[in-house]
Amino acid sequence: MMIKIKSSMGLEVIGTSDRIFEHIDEHEIFVGIGDNNTRQRIYESLETVGAHIPVLVHPSAVIGDQVNIGKGTVVMAGAVINCCTNIGKGCIINTGSTIDHDNCIEDYVHISPGVHLAGSVRIGHGSWLGIGSVVSNGVNIAKECKVGAGSVVIKDIIESGVYIGTPAKRLR
Ligand SMILES: CC(=O)SCCNC(=O)CCNC(=O)[C@H](O)C(C)(C)COP(=O)(O)OP(=O)(O)OC[C@H]1O[C@@H](n2cnc3c(N)ncnc32)[C@H](O)[C@@H]1OP(=O)(O)O
């Protein structure tokens, strides 16, 4: 049985996601889905039909000079992004994370709460950094990686996979 939700957090629910395309001329549309692959799939279908996709930045986030942020990316409360960093589209920069200078965060990455990235870090397309993980300066992480909660990455990760621990090692 399908339960019809009429409102959420004080906002009227106007339909399900499969009816989203009916609304692209009336509203900006933001994809608030945590799973990187699902977020990418829906984002791309919206992009194809010319939907207006905003960037969302919480007022308490601190964004430095010469920072570029792609459409469909959300920067949550207390996040700090330092100068000369590029962030792709459809990313989640989650609560209280810090991304230092000259980083390159590719599309559809999720930086979980409390992650710290040092200077000149590169995070590949679709990767997910678990809560409280740390990446040392100058380190590159390949596309579609998962880095476990609390892990510390001190060397480049060149193959997609799941990495855990301090220092981070490949789980699978
Ligand atoms: C607002 C939000 O909620 S944002 C989302 C925040 N959530 C997160 O950050 C979660 C991050 N996810 C993790 O850390 C997960 O444990 C993953 C993705 C790394 C691995 O998950 P799974 O594949 O399900 O691994 P699983 O739980 O089976 O563990 C496999 C082994 O790795 C170990 N392990 C798993 N995660 C970690 C970790 N973060 N650090 C150290 N060891 C770990 C387990 O203890 C287990 O070891 P064992 O075989 O010796 O018992």
Number of domains in the chain: 1
ipTM: 0.97
Asked whether the predicted pLDDT for residue 158 surpasses 90, the reply is yes
How far is 98 from 119, CA to CA, in rounded Å? 10
Report if residue 42 sits inside a domain: yes
Q: Which atom of ligand 1 is nearest to the CA of 130?
A: 9
Distance, CA 107 to ligand 1 centroid (Å)? 23
Pairing verdict, β 116-117 and 98-99: parallel
pLDDT tens across 71-91, in order?
999 999 999 999 999 999 999
Distance, CA 162 to ligand 1 centroid (Å)? 9
pLDDT value of residue 75: 98
Report if residue 25 sits inside a domain: yes
Q: Whose CA is nearest to atom 30 of ligand 1?
A: 171
Report if residue 31 sits inside a domain: yes
Report if residue 109 sits inside a domain: no
Which residues does the annotation mark as catalytic? 101
Asked if residue 151 has its Cβ within 6 Å of ligand 1, the reply is yes
Which string of b and e fits 35-52 if b means at least 16 CB within 10 Å? ebeebbebbeebeeeebe
The fraction of the chain above a pLDDT of 70, given in percent, is: 99
pLDDT value of residue 31: 95
**Nearest CA to 92 among 123, 64, 120?**
123
Report if residue 73 sits inside a domain: no
pLDDT value of residue 16: 83
pLDDT value of residue 1: 60
Report, as an integer, the average pLDDT of 87-113.
98
pTM of the predicted protein model: 0.95
Could you tell me the residue range of the domain that residue 17 belongs to?
7-48
Question: At a CB cut-off of 8 Å and minimum separation 6, what does 130 contact?
Answer: 112, 115, 146, 147, 148, 149, 150, 151
How far is 112 from 96, CA to CA, in rounded Å? 9
Report if residue 15 sits inside a domain: yes
Report if residue 80 sits inside a domain: no
Judged by average pLDDT, the poorest of 12-21, 27-36, 104-113 is: 12-21
pLDDT tens across 127-147, in order?
999 999 999 999 999 999 999
Report if residue 110 sits inside a domain: no
DSSP designation for 20:
G
Asked if residue 131 has its Cβ within 6 Å of ligand 1, the reply is yes
